[in-house]
Chains A and B, each alone.
Chain A
Amino acid sequence: MTEPVEDALRARIGEWVGKSISGAGPAVAPDDVNVPMIRHWVDALDDRNPVYLDAEYAANSRFGGIVAPPAMLQTWTMPRPRIEGIAERGGAPGEIPADHPISLLDQAGYVGTLATNSELEFERYLRPGDRLESDIVLESISDRKKTSLGKGYFVTWVTTYTDQLGEVVGRQMFRIFKFDPSTIGAPS
């Protein structure tokens, strides 16, 4: 059975497909790729690969110098958080514009979020001094699905990371399921 209101929601979000959902433009890393943040990560994850911190070892390796752990890619352009009110915003670092696809889903009752897929691709390893930007493009929104969590939509976006020369250094495909928890067990 078609539900016109829901279809209108999907159509409205569908207009964003292929477009940037970064808001005011690409996110610019607040800091260059830097050793203190690498050290913090290496200690937090107890990752003792010497190419991340041992300058002499790294200089003699295939990398020719210190490189950042590749999985830190997302970290460099993470928005600076506003801690006050972060719980009330559901954990979002800042306000999300009202016409953003995620806001549209939240407003329609699809407040649940489950991350389902992540694909990180690395074009090159990053070095201290690199300055990144990232831009997020909505790739797709599925038809409305019924799952054990309730009804909802799979939303997929791709974040592209570029360096100070505008060269692509990596990408991340990310897919979430946005669902309405009140529809658990509801008929389709």
Chain B
Amino acid sequence: MSATDGVTLRWGDLAVGDEVPLFELPVTATVIVAGAIASRDFMPAHHDHAFAIGQGAPDVFMNILTTNGYVSRFITDWAGPETVLRKIAIRLGVPAVPGKPLRFTGVVTALRRQGEEGLVDIAVRAANDLGDHLTGTVTIAL
């Protein structure tokens, strides 16, 4: 089931412990630069290799807006197009750099009701072979 199927998950069909299918993003310089410019972030560390190296980074690295964008896509590709994101709370770790694929994983940790709305908390993680790029919690309404 995914957003491209046009099916949005129902709150009542989910259970704590349900896993979000693994999403592996092949991180390239193009992925990083495209995300940076689409988010109007012109910091050279996100497009200029020499500048990034000079700052002590291993290469150009993904900006945080793009990281949040991929977290959003990871969740809505699973939960469906009518998912409403309420919160993306992440702790940032190692950089996402070209040549090191990012593996996104997630697991449902809580199902809550807030008035009429059914909320779902999902623990998320994206890691490459340097370590965790992010860990955190996404809250959605279904």
Contacts and interface: CB of A to CB of B under 8 A. Distances in A.
Q: Please indicate whether A and B come from the same complex rather than being unrelated chains.
A: yes
Interface of A: 37, 40-41, 43-51, 57, 61-63, 69-72, 74-75, 78, 81, 83, 86-87, 91, 93, 115-122, 125, 181
A141 B48 CA distance: 31
B37 A120 contact: no
A97 B1 CA distance: 50
B38 A78 contact: no
B69 A122 contact: no
A121 B73 CA distance: 16
Interface of A is mostly: mixed
Interface string B36-77: 011111111100100100001000000011101111110011
Given A45-B35, A49-B81, A71 B68 contact: yes
22 contacts: A43-B34, A43-B38, A45-B34, A45-B73, A47-B72, A47-B77, A49-B76, A49-B81, A70-B85, A72-B65, A74-B65, A75-B39, A75-B40, A83-B42, A87-B48, A87-B51, A91-B44, A91-B45, A115-B92, A118-B64, A118-B68, A119-B89
Interface residues of B, number: 39
A86 B76 contact: no
A44 B76 CA distance: 16
Contact of A117 (B38, B66, B72, B92): B92
B45 A78 contact: no
A44 B35 contact: yes
B90 interface: yes
